């Protein structure tokens, strides 16, 4: 089983939103085979609690603008690991230390990584 077209559409919007708020090390994992409830985990790192909150907020805002509603969110108050569940896509925005500690990529290493195409940024001259 592979991620649905709907999940990939969610991923495209969410990854671009994360990138626009300086999200780092953006990784998408296809978890559709082992997990019946979701297709993709999007994992993003923020450099500070404030950045983590900003990234998660931008992802949520852009997905809502695109017509998708979050089912659940966790961790916004702490700003260390924010999870936003959009059904087919579950977004994990981590502070650097938590990302290393929980190492979701290692836990899901048997699942394929989905390539992400981010919009190219124009450099300021």
Given a cut of 70, is residue 1 above it in pLDDT? no
What's the predicted TM-score (pTM) here? 0.91
The top-level CATH class assigned to 5-114 is alpha beta
84-121 pLDDT, tens digit each: 999 999 999 999 999 999 999 999 999 999 999 887 66
Write the CB contacts of 42 (distance below 8 Å, at least 6 apart in sequence).
11, 14, 15, 18, 26, 27, 28, 59, 89, 90, 91, 92
Task: pLDDT band for 77, please (50, 70, 90 cuts).
Answer: confident
Mean pLDDT score of the chain: 92
The pLDDT assigned to 28 comes to 97
Q: What is the spatial distance between Cα 39 and Cα 6, in angstroms, rounded to a whole number?
A: 9
Split at pLDDT 50, 70, 90, the class of 2 is confident
Give residue 117's pLDDT.
87
pLDDT confidence of residue 122: 54
Q: Domain ranges in the chain?
A: 5-114
Mean pLDDT of 33-43: 93
CA distance 77 to 52: 11
Q: What percent of the chain has pLDDT over 90?
A: 82
pLDDT band at 71 (very low <50, low <70, confident <90, very high): very high
């Amino acid at each position: 089983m592979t991620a649905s077209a709907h999940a990939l559409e969610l991923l495209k919007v969410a990854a671009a939103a994360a990138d626009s708020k300086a999200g780092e090390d953006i990784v998408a994992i296809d978890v559709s085979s082992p997990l019946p409830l979701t297709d993709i985990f999007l994992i993003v790192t923020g450099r500070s609690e404030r950045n983590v909150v900003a990234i998660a907020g931008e992802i949520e805002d852009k997905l809502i603008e695109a017509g998708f509603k979050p089912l659940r969110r966790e961790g916004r108050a702490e700003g260390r690991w924010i999870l936003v569940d959009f059904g087919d896509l579950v977004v994990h925005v981590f502070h650097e230390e938590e990302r290393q500690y929980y190492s979701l990529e290692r836990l899901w290493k048997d699942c394929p990584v989905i390539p992400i195409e981010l919009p190219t940024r124009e450099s300021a001259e």
